[in-house]
C-alpha cells in the first residue's frame, strides 16, 4: 500500500517509484492544511500530506496523530515527519514533549510559531517588528488579507513571498527550543525551506 501511494509519472521522464514525502501534523484544522496545500504536487518529486486535525488541538494530540500515521503507514528514511503547533497558551512542558520527539530522529521535525501560525503568514508580507498578542497578529495579517477568516487563497502566495518569509523567520530564530518559546517568531521556515529546495 505504501509503495502504491509513492508511484507517479512525470512528463518526459520515465516512471519512478518514489516521491519524497512530507507528513505534517498540525494544530489548526483549516489555515495550516490550506497553506501546506500550496506545496503539494508542485512538481513530480515531492508529496506533502497534512494529517486532519480534530477538535482536540492540544500538542499531545498533534503528536498522537503523527505517531498513529507512522505506525500504520511507516516512513522511509528519506521521508520527513513534522509537527506544526502554536505557542499560544500551551505550557513549556507540553511543547517540550514534541521537541523531544523531533530530536530522536533525523527525519523528524518540530515547527513552532509564537504566538501562532498567523505570524508565519504575516512574514510573507512584512518584516514584523512587534506583535503583542494573538489578536494583534491577526489584525496585522488582515491588513494584507482583508477577508482573512482562517482561510487563505493559495494563488495569492508567490514563491517570492515564501522566500521572503523564510529569510525573515531565519533572522528571528534564536537557535534553541527554549529561547524560541519566549521569542516572537516562527520555525515553520525549516520545513518550508526543505520543501522549496525540492522544487
Q: Which tens digits make up the pLDDT trace of 82-112?
A: 999 999 889 999 999 999 999 999 999 999 9
Residue range 3-9: mean pLDDT, rounded: 44
| Residue 3 scores a pLDDT above 80 | no
What is the pairing mode between strands 108-114 and 46-51?
unpaired
What CA–CA distance (Å, rounded) separates 65 from 70? 9
Q: What is the mean pLDDT of the chain?
A: 87
pLDDT for the residue 53 = 75
pLDDT-above-90 percentage for the chain = 63
Examine the pLDDT at 11 and tell me if it is beyond 80.
no
Q: Give the range among 46-60, 147-161, 173-187 with minimum mean pLDDT.
A: 46-60
Across 3-12, 148-157, 182-191, the highest mean pLDDT is recorded for 182-191
Residue 162 has φ and ψ, to the nearest 5°, of -65, -45
Q: Is the pLDDT of residue 57 over 70?
A: yes
pTM of the full structure: 0.87
Q: What is the mean pLDDT of residues 170-196?
A: 94
Q: Which of 135, 149, 152 is nearest to 38 (CA)?
A: 152
Give the whole-angstrom CA distance, residue 143 versus residue 170: 23
Least confident of 16-25, 73-82, 93-102, 106-115: 16-25
**Using an 8 Å Cβ cutoff, are 81 and 52 in contact?**
no
Angle value at C-alpha 107, between 42 and 26, nearest 5 degrees = 65
Amino acid at each position: 500500500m505504501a509503495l502504491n501511494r509513492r508511484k507517479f509519472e512525470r512528463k518526459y521522464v520515465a516512471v519512478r517509484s518514489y516521491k519524497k514525502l512530507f507528513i505534517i501534523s498540525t494544530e489548526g484544522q483549516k489555515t495550516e492544511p490550506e497553506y501546506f496545500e500550496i506545496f503539494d504536487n508542485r512538481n513530480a518529486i515531492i508529496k506533502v500530506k497534512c494529517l486532519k486535525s480534530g477538535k482536540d488541538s492540544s500538542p499531545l494530540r498533534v503528536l498522537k496523530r503523527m505517531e498513529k500515521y507512522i505506525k500504520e503507514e511507516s516512513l522511509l528514511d528519506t521521508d520527513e515527519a513534522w509537527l506544526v503547533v502554536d505557542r499560544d497558551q500551551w505550557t513549556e512542558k507540553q511543547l517540550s514533549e514534541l521537541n523531544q520527539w523531533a530530536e530522536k530522529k533525523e527525519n523528524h521535525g518540530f515547527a513552532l510559531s509564537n504566538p501562532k501560525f498567523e505570524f508565519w503568514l504575516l512574514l510573507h508580507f512584512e518584516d514584523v517588528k512587534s506583535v503583542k498578542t494573538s489578536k494583534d497578529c491577526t489584525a496585522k495579517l488582515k491588513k494584507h488579507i482583508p477577508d482573512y477568516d482562517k482561510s487563505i487563497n493559495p494563488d495569492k502566495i508567490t514563491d517570492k513571498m515564501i522566500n521572503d518569509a523564510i529569510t525573515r523567520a531565519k533572522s528571528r530564530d534564536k537557535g534553541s527550543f527554549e529561547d524560541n518559546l519566549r521569542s516572537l517568531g516562527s520555525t515553520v521556515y525549516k520545513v518550508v525551506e526543505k520543501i522549496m529546495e525540492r522544487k
